[in-house]
């Protein structure tokens, strides 16, 4: 059993498919040390030539990339690295075993180093060792193995483009590194594939074809499990499947509570592959379409014509249901491979989302033009991310007005109607002047970011991200205040984020007055099921009484009430 971090919910059983199969050393001991030394020197020379070629190709490239490759070459030419491996060979190890021993020691050192730069350099050494082992053994990345029918992808880390190549063929994903906010996690959520990250030693322990079970709820991986674990895990998968079948019966029913309150349940999406879920999940529309995924999975900026075609297909697939397009939300943990990275000490609070759009208006205009042309006379809804103050929203709205006028002059069909909204992800916007709430088209609370800034707890930091409860009375009071301000100005309000898809949190948000919740498609059934069984007025009283008692979180009181009903 290998513990990790849950990055995407769900449970999956299958067989290991190694993204980059590790080299298996079959001859640890050698009879002829002289011969092994010659083999090592020839392999290292081949490695150095390969690194030099990489440098030659990159001479006209990015300066930072060159610096990384220079450091890479320094490792390849390290006399200390070479000397340690030669000493191991003289003691009777084969060349492969000597390289593997040095790699293991480097990994051990890497696990103790706190400095990010040094960890990256030791990671370079790990990669060099892998290359050297492949040269010595002749074992390439292509092993001749065939992708199993039920593949669970196992990798040290993986980029979004590589993950999309596998697509929905994967039953689950297990990464040795990564974080809950990484590109891989974003794509895994979009594909609804169970994902566990930070699973220590998984690439060393797993072999292609191994039986594996992934628990995305608990963040646990069972590799080569025994019969008792298999039996218990299959029971869990069967229960999850049975629950989903139960939700099918209420799919086409509205989410109306016992006291007659209607709650709109919409879904999050980011890929064309998500859109079939719009009908099968019972979602009333798309509350958030993440437009950055099309930018993240490419090696160059997508052309406007490509974006027009994609957005048109999204609107066609939605069949007149409302789709909220969030403009490009890059920066922080979402860095485009073709944009120069910014050396920011705290990227989550740095140059990201609407800040990038306003500083680089050409990108924003291109995307707005693509959205308007894709709408082609149909209604269009656009939302700007990470708005921290009213002026940012006004500046972005002005860009929409200018783009609309340009499109009119060019003779393009204009949207039948145009809604322009803002995502409230910073506490500052909750305290904006009332005039902002009067003029904004709609507001969507971005729960994930709002919570991390409200509690000053990085959601990618395992030590603190689970420390603060979403049902904390302070956080619920902030939500209630936003609801009241929107009600005063009759501004449509929704809540988007992981908490919207958790049934307990969802009913509490509804009790505080939020009437539209946006979540991943698989969460709509469980949330609707619970909403249809509660009385929001009663639940609100439970929350108020808990707050009046001075409880830090209302969770215990809410759970007691739910058990009673």
Which residues are tagged catalytic?
Answer: 183, 496
How far is residue 465 CA from its own chain's centroid? 15
Which residue, among 388, 528, 552, 417, has the nearest Cα to 474 in the 3D structure? 552
What are the helix (H) ranges across 267-360? 277-280, 293-296, 304-318, 354-359
Contact 150, 171 (CB under 8 A): yes
Token digits of residue 542: 């439970």
Token digits of residue 129: 């060792």
Q: Which residues contact 351 (CB under 8 A, 6 or more apart)?
A: 331, 342, 344, 359
Q: How many CB atoms lie within 10 A of CB 355?
A: 16
CA 248 – CA 510 distance, rounded (Å)? 22
**Distance set, CA 554 to CA 258, 295, 477, 530, 563 (Å):** 21, 40, 11, 17, 14
Q: How many CB atoms lie within 10 A of CB 367?
A: 23
Rounded to 5 degrees, what are φ and ψ at 518?
A: -115, 130
Contact 3, 220 (CB under 8 A): yes
Which residue, among 312, 311, 308, has the nearest Cα to 289 in the 3D structure? 311
**Distance set, CA 344 to CA 180, 370, 381 (Å):** 20, 31, 32
With the C-alpha atoms ordered 42, 48, 54, 56, is the resulting torsion angle positive or negative?
A: negative
Identify each DSSP E strand in 19-134 by its residue range.
none
Which residue, among 454, 381, 457, has the nearest Cα to 422 in the 3D structure? 381
Q: Which residues contact 305 (CB under 8 A, 6 or more apart)?
A: none
CA 470 – CA 357 distance, rounded (Å)? 30
Which residue, among 323, 337, 334, has the nearest Cα to 371 in the 3D structure? 323
CA 550 – CA 556 distance, rounded (Å)? 13
Which residue, among 311, 32, 16, 348, has the nearest Cα to 176 in the 3D structure? 16
Token digits of residue 377: 């006379």
Instruction: Determine the 3-state secondary structure of 326 from DSSP.
Output: strand
How big is the chain by its Cα radius of gyration, in Å?
Answer: 27
CA 150 – CA 153 distance, rounded (Å)? 10
With the C-alpha atoms ordered 75, 80, 86, 89, is the resulting torsion angle positive or negative?
A: negative
């Amino acid at each position: 059993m290998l513990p990790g971090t849950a990055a995407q919910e769900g449970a999956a059983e299958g067989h290991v498919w190694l993204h980059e199969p590790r080299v298996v050393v079959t001859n640890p001991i050698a009879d002829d040390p002289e011969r092994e030394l010659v083999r090592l020197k020839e392999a290292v020379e081949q490695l150095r030539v390969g690194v030099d070629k990489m440098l030659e190709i990159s001479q006209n490239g990015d300066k930072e990339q060159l610096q990384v490759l220079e450091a890479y070459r320094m490792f390849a030419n390290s006399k200390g690295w070479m000397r340690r491996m030669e000493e191991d060979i003289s003691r009777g190890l084969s060349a492969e075993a000597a390289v593997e021993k040095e790699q293991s020691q480097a990994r051990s050192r890497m696990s103790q180093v706190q400095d990010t730069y040094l960890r990256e350099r030791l990671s370079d050494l790990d990669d060099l060792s892998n290359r050297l082992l492949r040269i010595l053994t002749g074992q390439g990345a292509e092993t001749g193995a065939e992708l199993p029918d039920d593949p669970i992808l196992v990798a040290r880390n993986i980029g979004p483009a590589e993950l999309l190549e596998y697509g929905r063929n994967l039953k689950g994903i297990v990464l040795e590194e990564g974080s809950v906010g990484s590109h891989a996690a974003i794509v895994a959520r979009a594909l609804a594939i169970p994902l566990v990250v930070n699973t220590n030693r998984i690439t060393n322990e797993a072999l292609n074809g191994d039986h594996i079970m992934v628990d995305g709820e608990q963040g646990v991986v069972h590799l080569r499990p025994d019969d008792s674990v298999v039996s218990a895990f299959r029971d869990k998968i069967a229960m999850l499947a049975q629950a989903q079948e139960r939700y099918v019966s209420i799919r086409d029913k509205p989410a109306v509570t016992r006291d007659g309150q209607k709650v709109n349940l919409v879904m999050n999406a980011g890929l064309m592959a998500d859109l079939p879920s719009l009908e099968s999940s019972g979602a009333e529309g798309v509350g958030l379409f993440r437009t950055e995924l099309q930018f993240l999975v490419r090696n160059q900026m997508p052309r406007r014509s490509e974006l027009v075609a994609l957005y048109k297909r999204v609107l066609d697939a939605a069949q007149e249901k409302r789709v909220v397009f969030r403009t490009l939300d890059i920066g922080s943990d979402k860095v485009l491979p073709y944009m120069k990275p910014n050396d920011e000490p705290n990227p989550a609070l740095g140059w990201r989302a609407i800040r990038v759009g306003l500083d680089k208006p050409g990108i924003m205009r291109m995307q707005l033009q693509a959205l308007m042309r894709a709408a082609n006379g149909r209604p269009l809804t656009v939302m700007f991310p990470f708005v921290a103050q009213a002026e940012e929203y006004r500046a972005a709205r002005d860009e929409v007005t200018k783009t609309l006028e340009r499109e009119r002059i060019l003779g393009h069909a204009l949207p039948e109607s145009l809604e322009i909204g803002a995502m409230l992800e910073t506490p500052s916007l909750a305290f904006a002047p009332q005039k902002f709430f009067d003029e904004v088209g709609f507001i969507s609370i971005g729960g994930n970011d709002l919570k991390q800034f409200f509690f000053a707890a990085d959601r990618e930091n395992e030590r603190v991200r689970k420390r603060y409860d979403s049902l904390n009375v302070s956080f619920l009071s902030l939500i209630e205040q936003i609801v009241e301000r929107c009600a005063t100005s009759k501004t449509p309000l929704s809540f988007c984020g992981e908490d919207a898809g958790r049934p307990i949190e969802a009913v509490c948000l509804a009790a505080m007055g939020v009437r539209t919740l946006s979540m991943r498609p698989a969460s709509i059934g469980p949330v609707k099921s619970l909403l249809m069984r509660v009385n929001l007025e009663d639940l609100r009283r439970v929350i108020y009484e808990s707050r009046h008692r001075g409880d830090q979180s209302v969770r215990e009181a809410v759970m007691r009430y739910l058990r009673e009903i």
